[in-house]
């Protein structure tokens, strides 16, 4: 390989001299990908110089495009970042080999300013590839009209400007709890576009934990956090080239504290409710659970029903009560307390309890 590089360097030097310093950035086809010609690949520093940083070996690479979606004709720049075993991050854009999965849609090549960019050719989607040493990473790139405006975790509220622009775009459901005794948890992150569409960006994001002694992300499995010992970490998913970041603070690794049990009071029937003759309701109240942020309630089929399984039928309740119209037949309800505080288990259930007309 070193002989090939030496011969290639000699060829490029002579070619550059004969063309008065003008470089040729023609692309070639290899393995179905549009790959930069040697003038662009080897014109940068020897890739071996990025395989370590102050003695720390390169363990992973993150690839990003300035715009995850761009209109046809734009040329967004691409960037690559090296993640080293000492936790440091360094840009290595000029030291990697770039390519795309479909040259008919887009190619990667230096622009007139010598900055490496995606040259868009047709509307569609391609994978942008980067290689250095034994590492090979890719990221999806869409050619259309919308721009990526925000990065959010499931359950996050949208930024205010997007929330106003996209009132019908509801946040994804929150990430599920990890099982007790588990050794890892998979996170997901979503991109929100200026046209109010959404797409998962888990594979494209750069994942980081602020405490590698407690937990660290698997470089070979985007979004998978490996637990090392009990503790608390702040985790982040980002697209550095777009300056977009989503963050979860105080994620607890280990067994969270119980949310706290609560008691449901006997249901109370009230006639002429709020002074309205003939209006009869059943009022269900409970003692507020310690550390609970809110409550949900649901009707269930029987006294043997699983309250946890009824979560999809639950509706929001006030902090201490819920009102049902009276029913000609008895029914059962479950009440669930919940919290988003990671120091506590997410839910606490009580029920089913019998509600008689």
Instruction: Kindly report, residue by residue over 264-295, the tens digit of the pLDDT.
Output: 888 888 888 888 888 888 899 988 767 788 88
Query: Contact at 8 Å (CB) between 198 and 190?
Result: yes
What whole-number distance in Å separates Cα of residue 272 and Cα of residue 250? 48
Domain that residue 228 falls in: 147-255
* Angstrom distance (rounded) from CA 19 to CA 251: 58
- Please, what is the average pLDDT of the chain? 77
Question: Domain check: are 318 and 224 in the same one?
Answer: no
Question: Is residue 139 domain-shared with residue 153, that is, in the same domain?
Answer: no
Task: Please tell me which residue, 81 or 70, carries the higher pLDDT value.
Answer: 81
Share of the chain above pLDDT 70, in %: 79
Mean pLDDT along residues 153-157:
83
CA–CA gap between residue 272 and residue 125 (Å, rounded): 62
Residue 149, pLDDT above cutoff 90: no
Q: What is this structure's pTM?
A: 0.42
List the one residue out of 55, 46, 66 whose CA is nearest residue 1: 46
- Please give the Cα distance from 186 to 200 (Å, whole number): 13
The reported pLDDT for the residue numbered 111 is 63
- Give me the number of domains the chain comprises: 3
Beta strand pairing status for 135-143 and 69-70? parallel
Mean pLDDT along residues 7-28:
32
Residue bearing tokens 């720390």: 56
Q: Can you tell me the distance from the alpha carbon of 18 to that of 86, in angstroms, rounded to the nearest whole number?
A: 44
**Token pair belonging to 308:** 């946890």
Residue 263 falls within a domain, yes or no?
A: no
Would you say residue 4 has pLDDT above 60?
Answer: no
Domain boundary, last residue among 255, 289, 308: 255
Give the tens place of pLDDT for each residue, 91-145: 998 889 999 999 899 999 886 556 888 888 887 889 999 999 889 999 988 887 6
Asked if 136 and 232 sit in the same domain, the reply is: no
- Say if 2 falls within a structural domain: no
Determine the average pLDDT of the residues in 145-155.
81
Tell the residue number behind the tokens 């000029």, with chain if given.
94
> What local confidence, expressed as pLDDT, does residue 210 receive?
92
Same domain, 115 and 189: no
Pair (211, 279) in one structural domain: no
pLDDT one-digit tens code per residue, 74-89:
788 899 999 998 888 9
């Amino acid at each position: 390989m070193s002989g090939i590089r030496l011969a290639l360097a000699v060829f490029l030097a002579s070619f550059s001299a004969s063309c008065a310093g003008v470089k040729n950035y023609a692309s070639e086809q290899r393995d179905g990908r549009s790959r930069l010609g040697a003038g662009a690949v080897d014109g940068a520093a020897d890739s071996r110089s990025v395989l370590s940083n102050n003695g720390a070996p390169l363990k992973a690479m993150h690839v990003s495009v300035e715009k995850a979606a761009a209109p046809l004709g734009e040329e967004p720049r691409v960037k690559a970042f090296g993640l080293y075993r000492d936790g440091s991050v360094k840009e290595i854009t000029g030291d990697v080999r770039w390519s795309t999965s479909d040259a008919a849609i887009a190619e990667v090549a230096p622009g007139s300013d010598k900055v490496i960019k995606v040259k868009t050719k047709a509307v569609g989607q391609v994978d942008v590839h980067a290689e250095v040493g034994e590492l090979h990473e890719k990221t999806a790139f869409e050619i259309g009209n919308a721009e990526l405006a925000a990065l959010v975790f499931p359950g996050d509220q949208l930024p205010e400007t997007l929330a106003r622009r996209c009132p019908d775009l509801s946040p994804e459901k929150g990430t599920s709890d990890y099982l007790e005794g588990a050794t890892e948890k998979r996170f997901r992150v979503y991109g929100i576009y200026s046209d109010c569409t959404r797409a998962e960006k888990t594979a494209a994001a750069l994942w980081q934990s602020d405490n590698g002694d407690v937990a660290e992300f698997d470089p070979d499995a985007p979004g998978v956090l490996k637990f090392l010992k009990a503790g608390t970490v702040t985790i982040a998913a980002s697209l550095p080239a777009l300056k977009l970041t989503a963050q979860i603070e105080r994620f607890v690794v280990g067994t969270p504290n119980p949310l706290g049990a609560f008691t449901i009071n006997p249901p109370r029937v009230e006639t002429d409710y709020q002074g309205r003759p003939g209006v009869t309701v059943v009022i269900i109240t409970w003692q507020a659970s310690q550390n609970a942020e809110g409550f949900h309630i649901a009707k269930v089929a029987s006294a043997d029903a699983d309250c946890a399984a009824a979560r999809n039928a639950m509706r929001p309740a006030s902090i201490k009560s819920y009102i049902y119209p009276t029913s000609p037949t008895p029914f059962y309800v479950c009440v669930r307390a919940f919290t988003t505080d990671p120091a506590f288990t997410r839910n606490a259930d009580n029920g089913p309890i019998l509600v008689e007309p």
